[in-house]
Amino acid sequence: AQTVTQSQPEMSVQEAETVTLSCTYDTSESDYYLFWYKQPPSRQMILVIRQEAYKQQNATENRFSVNFQKAAKSFSLKISDSQLGDAAMYFCGGEISYGQNFVFGPGTRLSVLP
């Protein structure tokens, strides 16, 4: 079965500092999509960033960027200039399994300290 692993159940970062959340995955597909979603206490899933596996360039969205290492099956999220509003659960996931749609990891709870 295709899986997504997030090895850090909890992380914390000082406001304005940078933090990196780790994600690894297992897939036999050659083309797929990877995502990071943020889930605040409201439980609304909010798309943070998306990466297409065939693209070599790492995706960037404002303060959020990824380090995508296809051969290593690694997809980490870097948050720069952390803000209090970044505190949430972060889920890594992707369309890595044909016919199974989305596979999510177990999540990383990020706390931002003032």
Among the candidate windows 20-28, 65-73, 78-86, 93-101, which touches other proteins by CB under 8 A? Answer: 93-101
* Alpha-carbon distances, residue 91 vs 29, 58, 80, 84, 114 (angstroms): 21, 18, 18, 18, 23
DSSP state letter for 84: G
Distance CA 30, CA 35 (A): 16
93 lines the binding site for other proteins (CB under 8 A): yes
Among the candidate windows 18-26, 35-43, 63-71, 74-82, which touches other proteins by CB under 8 A? Answer: 35-43
Among the candidate windows 21-29, 57-65, 66-74, 103-111, which touches other proteins by CB under 8 A? Answer: 103-111
Tell me how far apart the terminal alpha carbons of the chain are, to the nearest angstrom. 41
**26 vs 52 by CB, closer to other proteins:** 52
Site string for other proteins, 41-70 (x = CB under 8 A): -xxxxxx--x-x------------------
Residue with tokens 């952390």: 82
